[in-house]
Homo-oligomer: A and B are copies of this chain.
């Protein structure tokens, strides 16, 4: 394989690392591959090459490719939600402003990303077959909706008029955000991120302003 040492070939052929270090390096390499190539093209060899190691290391440290991919997905899901939450937390306004921050974050390039979408597609597909992946989905998606529901509940607490129930408002906004994300990733020319934000904001206004029967 490649060695990043002197060209005169007297350096070590590889450097030994601890199991934890190597596992982390392999996971990062897998993520880079998945993002760049998509999951279906992220073969053992592509990931090993990206990490600068040989193919055997992956099965040595993770037991199977599936275990590595599952670990990578968990990492991505955790990272994405925490990134959105940090942008919400950074907002110093009230719940209504924090909800807008959530929407803005949902239409930021970090989320509106075709490669991320491809990873998510693979995640959804795997969910039907792997109970472990399915559990990760349920856990992460529950947390996602919970954040929205709390924000709506706080807004409702502030307002006087009766509004849509926080649960229904959160389900609606979550669906709208996911649907727009889906359609944008499949065909980015359909609408702009700014238009998506405007649509989501309109939903929020509807949910909190109108006296609702939901």
Query: Which residue numbers of A lie inside 8 Å of B, CB to CB?
Result: 38, 40, 114, 118, 121-122, 124-125, 127-129, 137-138, 141, 145, 164, 168, 171-172, 174-183, 186-187, 190-191, 195-196, 198-199, 202-203, 205-206, 210, 212, 214
Contacts and interface: CB of A to CB of B under 8 A. Distances in A.
Given A187-B138, A212-B202, A125 B175 contact: no
**Chief secondary structure at chain A's binding surface:** helix
A164 B196 CA distance: 14
Contacts of A191: 168, 171
Nearest to A179: B179
Given A38-B128, A121-B124, A125-B125, A199 B171 contact: yes
A172 B145 CA distance: 19
Given A171-B180, A175-B182, 15 more contacts: A114-B128, A118-B128, A121-B125, A122-B125, A125-B125, A168-B191, A168-B199, A172-B202, A178-B179, A178-B182, A178-B183, A179-B181, A179-B182, A198-B214, A202-B210
A128 B187 CA distance: 11
Nearest to A141: B187
A38 B128 CA distance: 9
Nearest to A138: B187
Given A118-B128, A199-B214, A202-B206, A174 B178 contact: no
Contacts of A172: 176, 180, 199, 202-203
30 contacts: A38-B129, A118-B125, A121-B124, A121-B125, A121-B128, A124-B186, A137-B186, A138-B187, A164-B202, A168-B195, A171-B183, A172-B176, A175-B176, A175-B179, A175-B182, A175-B199, A176-B176, A176-B179, A176-B203, A177-B179, A178-B183, A179-B182, A182-B182, A195-B214, A199-B214, A202-B214, A203-B203, A205-B206, A206-B206, A206-B210
